């Protein structure tokens, strides 16, 4: 896969604050790339630099093989930004807002109208074309903010927490739309504090903290950095004739099993990360006539990775 965005040794100081501290990463063409990190980690600063909205102290950023300093004008045409702070005009209605932003990229007349309506349909605001932002709910404004960033059909879409305050149904709609945009050929950089969203749509994820790269990879790669196992703990009552040795031998014979321990009224089973299906083991448990009082599974996800690597859920 060709790199579409290359960030190398990027540094950004705001006075004494080092917001981005020697950050490097690449985004492949057609990828949905997640940028996550606690509050103040440097995500928005990085995004503002990539979108040429902010200056930087050191390093290089290339988009579509072009340096952002020497080719700022060409690069701006390729990018669509959905900023963290909602940036729409309160006195323009939804359609006028989207048309205004798309017109900045040279769209005109019937093409401009079609693109603006399509972008609004994309975020589920087709029924609200005439509505002004001040009449909209917070979630509607967020969706309008997204439509303004994508109407000109950008090659690179950068979204900074686009789903904050959006209800679950609209969020699903937005996440699905992002995947459709990618299928149409866009590359996406996506930041969010909602780990389930990032897990759901991002091909690769970078975790940043204090302006530095903490870890980078697919969700499965990140999970494998913090643990090698899924753990299932089964609460049971062992019958008097329970053959512990035979049970452990049979469970251990399954290829995905890493370990099994029997302790008081519990069986603890560790499986390979790729094994999330417990049904074979349950068969065996039935065979040994063990009642299943409860099963607790600890399957690590992006939340656990984030917590382990940054020490924070939200800061
Ligand atoms: N214009 C600015 N002037 C001074 N400091 C700034 C400015 N913008 C950001 N910072 C500082 O840079 C650091 C990184 O901020 P940034 O907004 O990039 O974080 P973030 O990862 O986007 O956080 P959040 O999840 O809260 O949006 C923070 O310490 C912040 O206070
Ligand atoms: Mg931010």
* CATH 3.30.70.100-classified regions of the chain: 228-299
Which atom number of ligand 1 is nearest to the Cα of residue 41?
A: 21
Q: Is 22 in the pocket of ligand 1 (CB under 6 A)?
A: no
Percentage with pLDDT > 70 across the chain: 98
Handedness of CA 180, 182, 186, 192 (dihedral sign): positive
Structure tokens at 28: 């492949």
Q: Is 212 in the pocket of ligand 1 (CB under 6 A)?
A: no
Give ion ligand 2 contacts, CB < 5 A.
Answer: 43-44, 84
Structure tokens at 304: 């656990």
Q: Within 13 Å and on the Cβ side, how many CA atoms surround 190? A: 33
**Residue 126 gets which letter from DSSP?**
G
Which is nearest to 203 in space by CA: 24, 10, 26? Answer: 26
Q: pTM value?
A: 0.87
- CA-proximal residue: ligand 1, atom 1 (nearest): 14
Given 3.30.365.10, 1.20.1290.10, 3.40.50.920, 3.30.70.100, which CATH number is that of 228-299?
3.30.70.100
Q: Distance (Å, rounded) from C-alpha 3 to C-alpha 15?
A: 32
In this predicted structure, what is the pLDDT of residue 276? 65
* CATH 3.40.50.300-classified regions of the chain: 3-91+149-219
In this predicted structure, what is the pLDDT of residue 49? 96
Contact 214/207 with Cβ under 8 angstroms? Answer: yes
CA of 207 to the centre of ligand 2 (A): 13
Average of per-residue pLDDT across 116-127:
93
In this predicted structure, what is the pLDDT of residue 152? 95
Per-residue pLDDT of 239-253, as tens digits, reads 988 999 999 999 898
Ligand number nearest CA of 42 is 1
Q: Which helix (H) or strand (E) holds 62?
A: strand 58-63
Fold type of domain 3-91+149-219: Rossmann fold (3.40.50)
Contact 157/129 with Cβ under 8 angstroms? Answer: no
Ligand number nearest CA of 210 is 1
């Amino acid at each position: 896969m060709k790199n579409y965005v290359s960030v190398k040794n990027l540094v950004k100081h705001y006075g004494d604050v080092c917001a981005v501290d020697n950050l490097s990463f690449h985004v492949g063409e057609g990828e949905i790339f997640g940028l996550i990190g606690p509050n103040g980690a440097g995500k928005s600063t990085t995004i503002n630099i990539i979108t040429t909205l902010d200056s930087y102290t050191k390093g290089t950023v290339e988009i579509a093989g072009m340096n952002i300093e020497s080719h700022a004008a060409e690069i701006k045409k390729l990018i669509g930004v959905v900023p963290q702070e909602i940036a729409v005009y309160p006195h323009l209605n939804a359609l006028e807002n989207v048309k205004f932003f798309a017109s900045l990229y040279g769209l005109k007349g019937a093409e401009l109208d079609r693109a603006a309506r399509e972008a609004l349909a994309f975020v589920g605001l087709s029924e609200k074309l005439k509505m002004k932002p001040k009449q909209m709910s917070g979630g509607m404004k967020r969706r309008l903010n997204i439509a303004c960033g994508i109407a000109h059909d950008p090659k690179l879409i950068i979204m900074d927490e686009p789903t904050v305050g959006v209800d679950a149904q609209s969020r699903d709609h937005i996440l699905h739309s992002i995947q459709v945009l990618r299928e149409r050929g866009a590359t996406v950089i996506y930041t969010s504090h909602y780990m389930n969203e990032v897990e759901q749509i991002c091909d690769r994820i970078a975790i940043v903290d204090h302006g530095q790269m903490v870890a980078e990879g697919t969700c499965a790669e990140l999970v494998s950095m913090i643990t090698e196992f899924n753990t299932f703990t089964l609460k049971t009552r062992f019958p008097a004739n329970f053959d512990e040795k035979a049970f452990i031998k049979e469970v251990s014979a399954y290829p995905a099993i890493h370990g099994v321990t029997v302790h008081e009224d519990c069986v603890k089973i560790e499986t390979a990360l790729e094994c999330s299906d417990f049904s074979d083991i349950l068969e065996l448990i039935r065979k040994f006539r063990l009642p299943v009082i409860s099963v607790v599974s600890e399957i690590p996800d992006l939340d656990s990775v984030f917590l382990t690597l940054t020490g924070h859920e939200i800061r």
